[in-house]
Amino acid sequence: MQYILDGKKWKDIGLEELYANVNIASTDPVTSSPGATYYGLLLSILCDGQVLEDNVNEKLPKLKEFYDKSGYMNNTPADLFQNYLMTGMGGRQMIVDYEKSMIDFANSNPNGFDQVKDQIRVLYPEPTSWNSHCLAYFTEGGKLLYEAFEDPEIGQIAWSKYGFRTGITGGNYDVSSIGIGVPQTISSTVTSLKMDIYDKLIGYLGNDPKYVEEVEGKNIEE
């Protein structure tokens, strides 16, 4: 984060062939759930894992500076990942994405994956964070779908083919076999933020006058 805040270039840290500033591309946290998850993780790191009402206002301006210096952001992870694959090291040196994107790509497009796998490494922040997907059903058909996801065989498919970790039901797949650094287990994590903190984070980054005044103690023009 400090490299980005300081405007360091990749060549400043030894990558002479790259012209651009150090950056980590993500989806926009104001409009995208994955981006909000990432910025929630950054906020947790800035707050030493304890995001509380009495310290969040102090840390949000630094996160906003980081956000402003991160440049253009895609709105969906699919667009970001595709852009990463298309432009390579010259365009997107490092991105933030769910690990499932790489596992899904490796399984659904083996030829394409073979072309790029030697150029890709997956890095995990320590700590990192989990993101879960909730399923609510309102019909009998929806109930059947919910029950299907509880099936161990379907859980195995969800993990091995699409990268959705499903606990012990999906634990038989050796994810290291794809060879780019996805770990079998993840232990260094922080808990997700409470919803009101996410609301403040997103509102402040998006220049919502209510949250700007609350964090900085001043009004901005709407």
Q: Decide if 83 contacts 92 (C-beta within 8 A).
A: yes
At residue 168, the pLDDT reads: 58
pLDDT of amino acid 109:
93
What is the reported pLDDT for 220? Answer: 56
Q: Averaged in consecutive runs of 10 residues, what is the pLDDT profile of the chain (222 residues)?
A: 93 92 94 93 90 88 95 90 90 91 91 91 88 89 92 85 72 73 84 90 94 80 54
pLDDT of 170? 46
pLDDT reported for residue 28: 96
User: What DSSP element (H or E) covers 128?
Assistant: strand 128-129
* Phi, psi (degrees; rounded to nearest 5) at 93: -70, -35
pLDDT at residue 171, as a whole number:
55
Q: What is the pLDDT of residue 219?
A: 53
In single-letter form, the type of residue at position 215 comes to V
